[in-house]
Structure 1
Amino acid sequence: MNRYPIQAGDSIAVLAGRFGLSVAELMAANPGMDPRRLRIGQTVIIPPRAHASIVDTSGAYGYGSLMSDVAALEMAYPFLQTGMIGQSVMGRAIPVIRIGSGCKEVHYNGAFHANEWITSALLAKFVEDCARACCTSGHLRGYDVKALFERVSLYVVPMVNPDGVELVHGTLGAGEALYAQLVQWNGGSCDFSGWKANIRGVDLNDQFPAFWETERARRDVPGPGPRDFTGEAPLTEPEAQAIEAFTRCRDFHLVMALHTQGQEIYWNYRDLEPQEAEAAAIRLGRASGYVPVKLSGSDAGYKDWFIQEYRRLGFTVEAGDGVNPLPIEQFDAIYERLIGLLLEGLQL
């Protein structure tokens, strides 16, 4: 059993939701406790079921799963702040979760590419584990996260491309107005499992004004499709516009975009990265076993634009190994290596 000290804003209902318990289970573990007279600092016994997870990583992780988890996490951990950074082409809200109250701002995002949806589950699980640790021992994998989040505010956008993710999962059917066009762009196939782009067939990670024209010429993809079409100009897509505007309105010390696959860390951009970038990538590599790679011949990505615009630390992390989309059965193995990297990123 764990012991939890009551904090400002806590109630029996809040604690039950936070730790995955019923009110009756929590009361049974604390006989004699008056739920109407909780005192800050009072110790509450949390029975073993407290470790039940909100984020279910046993099956395909889509937009509905994410939005349900965001709502449940906010209820269970009231110190989390949630919101939206904008909307997708089809009007889906793009959620953001903030954990921490520190003045140093850090940003992680996932699922720029639709068939890399497992990155959304990885980030949602990371938020949950950090939040739970803050409410229990304060430590996670050897890191004092409670103290860390007093210095750092982490903003997580788990799913940049919700329409594309839903297309990959098969939840957009023939009744959708765009469906016939999508099938045509997909070479006549109704199998969208390999689709990377947004719902308009634009690769969102080729949408940023960082030598965009060079990337367009390199890709040489004439129009919409499953992958690699840069769009007709930078920032034509609402999802790219949303993440760009969100980045501009914050003061991020570091950004990290999760992709799959390859177990690599890309840390540079046209020699515009800060002097400490390579050493920082080596630290991330040590925390995960991933390989830092000095990349060339790639432009117009979110990380590229951030480094060009701000001359600060920006990383693209290729999580896992295999063929996209990586199967959810690999989640635990991927997360086991990635969590150290995500925690180390907060300390850079």
Structure 2
Amino acid sequence: MSFLCFRPYDFQQLLIDINQLKNSYSFVRLYEIGKSVEGRSIWEIKIGEGKRKVHFNGSFHANEWITSSALLSFVKEYAEAIAKGDVIEGISSQLLFSENSLSIVPMVNPDGVELVINGLSTKNEQQVISINGGSTEFSGWKANIRGVDLNNQYPVGWEIEKERKEPKSPAPRDYPGDRPLSEPEAIVMAELQIREQFDRVLAFHTQGAEFYWGYNNKEPEESKCLAERFERVSGYEAVRFIDSHAGFKDWFIQEYEQPGFTIELGKGCNPLPLTQLPAMYQATRSICIAALLE
């Protein structure tokens, strides 16, 4: 487990890791695909030269930052295996490299992650404290720095979520915004999909040790096959439908009718403790590899 980072995974750690990857492996490509509300870069990592376009992302939700750590651990192990010509999970890494063009956005919500891990460092401190009910304890914060839940921002059933979500104004969690795609981080992810036209999308969240793979019966038959594979390799429960809308995965399935998944790593109360990282990484690694197979 030498790839794991046993410290809270903040934006600075992400920068350290992606720079190390860039300097170590010529086949790892880095792109700044946009900026957060506070101007932090949203980074995409690309690996591979295959026809199948696969996308993973993490930390849509601020206090689920451990997903960024798990994804970077996978990227490090995968890149090292490719460089050495090794197998990973019994599969040739070079075969995976040749068959897939893999895109990873490990930290969709860097401002929120920074707030949860490092506390206030924003010009809008009083506004953030006000959104948080006067408290400077941010461990329960899921939203972006403006108090909008980025995974309730997509134009697919957004009106349903707007109506039934309790927060009617910016909040630490669950407020879907004044309109769909009002937040720069959500827009960046929509534009990435529109530009790249991914064939498969996996959004990593916590908690529940389960994953969701359907939406409005728009998911293709291939989704069921992949869900069965993910369930087998991870031990996580496959759940086809839940009463939820306006998420990135929901929008992807509705608009593109391709396999999309929300992976809920680990169990417990967010933010999940680092003691769970090894088990979470095993599930992440197995699911990621399975997603790169035919």
Show structure 2 runs of 5+ residues with no match: none
**One-letter identity of the residue aligned with 2:284:** L
User: Is 1:85 the equivalent of 2:28?
Assistant: no
Q: Quote the residue 1:282 is aligned against.
A: 228
The higher-RCO structure (CA 8 Å, 6+ apart) is 2
Counterpart CA distance in 2 for 1:296 and 1:216 is: 17
2:156 alignment counterpart: 210
Counterpart among 123, 132, 145 of residue 93 in structure 2: 145
Identity %: 46
**Take 1:184 and 1:285, find their aligned partners in 2: how far apart are those partners?**
42
Task: Determine the C-alpha separation between the residues in 2 that align with 1:197 and 1:263.
Answer: 22
Q: What is aligned with 2:113?
A: 165
* 2:264 is the counterpart of 1:318: yes
The structural deviation recorded for 1:158 is 0.1
Q: Once the 2 structures are TM-superposed, how far is the Cα of residue 310 of structure 1 from its aligned partner?
A: 0.3
In structure 1, how many angstroms separate the alpha carbons of the residues matched to 2:125 and 2:235? 41
**Which residue, 265, 284, 291 being the options, matches 1:338?**
284
Indicate which of 200, 203, 221 corresponds to 1:257. Answer: 203
Q: Which stretch has the larger CA shift, 224-233 or 287-296?
A: 287-296
The CA distance in 1 between the partners of 2:230 and 2:118, in whole Å, is 35
Q: Which residue of 1 aligns with 2:124?
A: 178
Residue 193 of structure 1 corresponds to 139
1:114 and 1:165 in contact (8 A); partners too: yes
RMSD: 1.3
TM-score of the two chains, using structure 2 as the length reference:
0.97
After TM superposition, the structure 1 = structure 2 runs for residues 215-230 of structure 1, keeping only pairs within 5 Å, are 215-230=161-176
Shift of residue 56, structure 1, vs aligned partner: 5.3
The 8 Å contact of residues 71 and 284 in structure 2, kept in 1 or not, is answered as: no
Q: Is the 8 A contact 1:204 1:239 kept in 2?
A: yes
Q: Give secondary structure in 1 for the equivalent of 2:201.
A: strand
Partner residue, 1:122: 70
Tell me the SS of whatever aligns to 2:140: coil
Report what 2:248 is aligned to: 302
The Cα shift of 1:285 comes to: 0.7
The amino acid that maps onto 1:221 is P
Q: Which amino acid aligns with 2:12?
A: G
CA distance in 1, matches of 2:4, 2:286: 20
Moved more, 325-334 or 231-240: 325-334
Post-superposition CA distance 1:16-65 (Å, at most 9, x none): xxxxxxxxxxxxxxxxxxxxxxxxxxxxxxxxxxx9x5x55111110000
Given that 2:4 and 2:70 are in contact with CA atoms closer than 8 Å, whether structure 1 keeps it comes out as no
Amino acid at match of 2:83: C
Cα deviation for residue 263 of structure 1 reads 0.7
> Which one-letter code corresponds to 1:157 in the other structure?
V
Tell me the distance in 2 between the aligned counterparts of 1:308 and 1:105. 18
CA distance in 2, matches of 1:191, 1:147: 47
Counterpart of 1:106? 54
Distance (whole Å) between structure 1 residues aligned to residue 271 and residue 199 of structure 2:
30
CA shift for structure 1 position 163: 0.2
C-alpha offsets along residues 170-214 of structure 1, whole Å, 9 cap, x if unaligned? 2434xx321111111111110001100000000000000011101
Aligned mates of 2:5, 2:134 — CA distance in 1? 32
Q: Distance in 2 between matches of 1:296 and 1:264?
A: 12
The 8 Å contact of residues 170 and 192 in structure 1, kept in 2 or not, is answered as no
Distance of 1:105 and 1:80 partners within structure 2? 15
Structure 2 contact 4–278 (Cα < 8 Å) conserved: no
AA aligned to 1:218 is R
The one-letter amino acid paired with 1:270 is N
Could you tell me which residue of structure 2 aligns to residue 347 of structure 1?
Answer: 293
Deviations 1:219-270 (A, max 9, x none): 1321001100000000000000000001110021100000001111100001
Normalising by structure 1, what TM-score? 0.82
Superposed structure 1 runs of 4+ greater than 2 Å apart:
170-173
C-alpha distance after superposition, 1:117-159 (max 9, x if no partner): 0000111110110010012242012111211110101000000
Highest CA radius of gyration, 1 or 2?
1
Which of 65, 68, 77 is matched with 2:13 structurally? 65
Name the structure 2 match of 1:237. 183
